[in-house]
Structure 1
Amino acid sequence: MRNILAGLAATLWMIFAVTTAHAWWDAGHMQIAAAAYKSLSPQAKERVDVLLRLNPDYSKWTTGAPDEATARQWAFVHAATWADDIKMRSYGYARDAATSATAGRNIGYADRDQHDYWHYKDLPFSPDGTPLLPPNPVDAVTQLRLMIAALPAASAASDDIRSYDLVWVLHIVGDVHQPLHAVARFTRELPVGDRGGNSEMVIPATGETITLHAYWDRIFGGYFSPFGAVFEATAQDGIGNLEANPELAKIGDPERWIEESAALAKTYAYAAPVSNGSNAVPLTREYETNARNIARSQAALAAARLANLLNAAFQ
């Protein structure tokens, strides 16, 4: 059954990925949140639960939880997917542009735009001298800085804004640690840029043809329930038990996070046999092994940084 569901998820992803950007799929985002939750201080856990209860999906996030403590954990874990969930038609959020007058606003749940461009910051580069196009004026870094600053009680933000910002922070921190959420590659074959690997096609060992971006997004698998995400993250070999570099974990500047991810993308995501064009190429075992290792270490680092910034915001 799990293989059938994974196949269905992959098919739906290929339809959906043409027009929108995700990172890590739900499983990755929820596992990062589950790993971070273990390291939250009691004060931070109390405050995040108060804020998450203001989100209209709180009751859905906690459905089936056997007790109050588990409900709080599940809400935190599931909230990490909300910024992707609002892209679904049933939520009624509008698509908008990074160049719009309202692109960088921070007004809480009154904001009914999807803000797809908040999920990434594509640093442009070219391996062959192709001219670069400028990046978006509003992106993951501009919004993370704005939202992190609004979380502490000393800020002038309302709890409605803090709640909205919290669910976005839970998500974007995971996003910017996915290497292909930090770059746009320009080549002679792709002169207008590849949109973070969405223009290249690859064939992994599983045999299907997918975008390079989708390949990296799905490394942690398809959808998990909060229970499943907690189980996977805290298993012996889960990302919650990977030791993130303590010095790197202390880095709190989102711009540095993007620069790190971009460097990893250039070294690993665009490594051979990935081509400079859109033609599909089979991936090697070495490539896929490196990709899994980088994804796991990046997820563990994202979890450590997320816990650090929330503990600091809610101390």
Structure 2
Amino acid sequence: MFICQKVCRGGWWLWVGVCWFALGTTPVLAWNQAGHATVAAIAYGQLQPRARVRVAAILRQHPEYAEWTRDVPPEQSSFIAFLSASYWVDDIKFDRRQGFSDREPPPSTHPAYPDMRVHGTWHYVNRPLAAPGVAIPPDFQIVAPDGGALGKIVEIEDILRHSPPDSPRQAYYLAWLIHLVGDVHQPLHTVARCSKNNPQGDQGGNLFIVRPTAGTPLDGPRKPNLHAFWDNAALDTFSLPAIQALAQELSRKRPSRQRIAAPPVRWLDESTQLARDLVYQAGQDNTPEPPVLSHAYKARAHAAARERVRLAGFRLAARLNQLYDRP
């Protein structure tokens, strides 16, 4: 994935369709890039003018801004940078240029980077769900020591609110906030299901093998799983026209003021409930053959995933307007 992006980044609207095949062969991360970019596109359309100007100025300080906007028309630069920032923290998991890592990261290479860690545990919270007849282990770890997604959203908002507006660190943490708001609206970033096959949890559905269709092969390097299916459920075409069209469609119906203003813990509650009520209705993970996802299940998942993307976009805009639409 990273190699393709480095070659193609100049002219975002041209290369996005080319890079999609590579995503199918890389580890699943969160919403796919199209999903995160759709959340961002919805949010960008809801930003107040002053907030939009400030967000654009902040992202111009990001070390990757030149790459994000290479060959992009000036009038589109802020928008494309905002969309690119939405999945940058997934990109760094494959970044070999600058050396991002959670093993032995090098010292920070830019004033914008507090460190060079990937921070993989920031993306999720493992609220345990139990399959019938299975007990949740007493030592089950719900939240990583660094606080996980919910703790990081709260912490990052505080950093953005209180750090100098011209600090290059704002760009780093803003990219994280844009991404994490999307992450926690993906139901499998909030739960792990304990079953007979996976007594310590299924890693947010990554260990729950499924067949999206009856003929899906299971002999590849990465077997199709429930998490991967839900990552792609909102939009599986990574092209700017598709992202803009979906963002425009989902923006037509504005959520209620109460739903938009709900605190982040409520976002996770909703995702957890959706995992319980729909996601794990895909079947059981202890059958001789992985369950085949039915047409009815896929249709319900498609609608539910798009609703989560819609809510994430409006909620992200509301948080950014609170942070930046002020004197």
Structure 2 unpaired stretches of 5+: 1-14, 105-110, 219-223
Contact 1:187 1:277 in 2 (8 A): no
Which SS does the other structure have where 1:81 is aligned?
helix
SS of alignment partner, residue 201 of structure 1: coil
Match of 2:128, SS state, is strand
Tell me how many residue pairs correspond in the alignment.
292
> In structure 1, which of residues 224, 229, 247 is the aligned counterpart of residue 243 of structure 2?
229
1:224 offset after TM fit, Å? 2.8
Which of 280, 295, 316 is the matching residue for 1:306?
316
Against the structure 1 CA distance between its residues 74 and 115, is the aligned structure 2 distance closer, same or farther, given a 3 Å change threshold?
same
Match of residue 68 from structure 2? 61
Shift of the alpha carbon at 1:48? 0.7
* Among candidates 80, 83, 87, match of residue 81 of structure 1: 87
Aligned mate of 2:231, from 217, 222, 227:
217
1:131 is matched with 136
Distance 1:88 1:289, change over 3 A: same
Residue among 184, 208, 215 paired with 1:200: 208
Cα separation, 2, equivalents of 1:85 and 1:189: 31
| 1:167–1:205 distance in 2 versus 1, CA, 3 Å | same
TM score, norm. by length of structure 1: 0.84
The two structures, once aligned, show a CA RMSD in angstroms of 2.6
How far does the alpha carbon of each residue in 1:133-187 deviate from its partner, in whole angstroms, 9 at most, with x for none? 12222200111101011222x4468722221110001101000000000001111
Kept in 1: contact 2:126–2:191 (CA 8 A): yes
Structure 1 gaps, min length 5: 98-106
Alignment of structure 1 residues 48-127 onto 2, 5 Å: 48-68=55-75, 70-91=76-97, 92-95=99-102, 108-127=112-131
Which residue does the alignment assign to 1:142? 151
- Contact 2:62–2:171, Cα closer than 8 Å, also in 1: yes
Pair 1:110–1:64, CA change in 2 (3 A) = same
Percent identity, please.
34
The code of the aligned residue for 2:198 comes to L
**Within 1, Cα distance between the matches of 2:324 and 2:272?**
30
Query: Which amino acid in 2 is paired with 1:116?
Result: G
The aligned residue for residue 292 of structure 1 is 302
2:257 corresponds to which of 220, 242, 246 = 246
Structure 2 Cα separation of the partners of residues 143 and 265 of structure 1: 22
Paired residue type of 2:77: A
1:194-232 Cα deviation digits (max 9, x unpaired) = 000011111113842511100000123456355553244
Q: 1:12 aligns with which of 25, 35, 39?
A: 25
TM-score (norm 2): 0.81
Matched, 1:161 2:172: no
Report how far residue 43 of structure 1 moved. Answer: 1.1
Q: 1:246 to 1:211 in 2, by over 3 A?
A: same
Cα 1:278/1:166, change in 2 over 3 Å: farther
Q: Distance in 2 between matches of 1:76 and 1:223?
A: 19
Name the counterpart of 1:100: none
Is the contact made by 2:20 and 2:237 (CA closer than 8 Å) also made in structure 1?
no
AA in 1 matched with 2:258: E
Residues 206-262 of structure 1 deviation map (CA, whole Å, 9 limit, x = unaligned) = 84251110000012345635555324422xxx33334324321111x2222112101
Which of the residues 146, 151, 160 maps onto 1:151?
A: 160
CA contact (8 A) 2:197 2:285 kept: no
Change (3 A) 1:185 1:241: same
Which residue type is aligned with residue 8 of structure 1?
A: F
Cα distance in 1 for partners of 2:280, 2:286 equals 9
Structure 1 residues 276 and 307 mapped into 2: Cα distance closer, same or farther (>3 Å)? farther
Q: Is the 8 A contact 1:108 1:163 kept in 2?
A: yes
| Counterpart residue number, 1:103 | none
Taking the aligned partners of 1:231 and 1:65, their CA distance within structure 2 comes to 19
Per the alignment, residue 177 of structure 1 pairs with 185
- Structure 1 residues 137 and 159, CA gap change in structure 2 (3 angstroms): same
Give the conservation status (yes or no) of the 8 Å contact 2:282–2:291: no
SS of alignment partner, residue 195 of structure 2: coil
Give the Cα–Cα distance (whole angstroms) in 1 for the partners of residues 21 and 215 of structure 2: 15
Q: CA separation in 2, counterparts of 1:118 and 1:171?
A: 10
